[in-house]
Amino acid sequence: MITLYGIPNCDTVKKARVWLADQQHDFTFHDFKKQGLDEATVRTWLKTLDWEVLVNKKGTTWRALPDERKAAVTSADAAVALMLENPSVIKRPVLVGAGPQAHVGFNAAMYQEIFAA
């Protein structure tokens, strides 16, 4: 079962959803702002992804955090707490179920490679 995690108004998530639909891949979309996000899910992502990949330090959500909050994110545990507290800080989309590892972000060539394997 393929699940795409993100928020629906994110342009990158929109592109990934369109690509998956155009390629006729069955998938479930999980809006983590509306449907929530639990610690077990994030920890599962961290089995194959580094927390520094998941935390989008280039995004407006990260930039809006107080400096002391940013400085406190120095480990996977601290990153998990931040992602659960503020899911908008997660780099999107997160694709799970297309192979043994989770994937972050979207570009057509990357998805083509993931689904060719």
Residue 78: what residue type? A
Establish whether 10 is a catalytic residue: yes
Q: Which of 10, 72, 76, 84 is catalytic?
A: 10
Is-contact 65 88, C-beta < 8 A?
A: no
Task: Give the separation between CA 47 and CA 60, rounded to whole angstroms.
Answer: 26
Match 């998530």 to its residue by tokens.
13
Is-contact 51 80, C-beta < 8 A?
A: yes
Measure Cα distances from 80 to 9, 17, 32, 93 in Å: 23, 25, 14, 17
Report residue 31 as tokens. 């809006």
Q: Which residues are catalytic?
A: 10
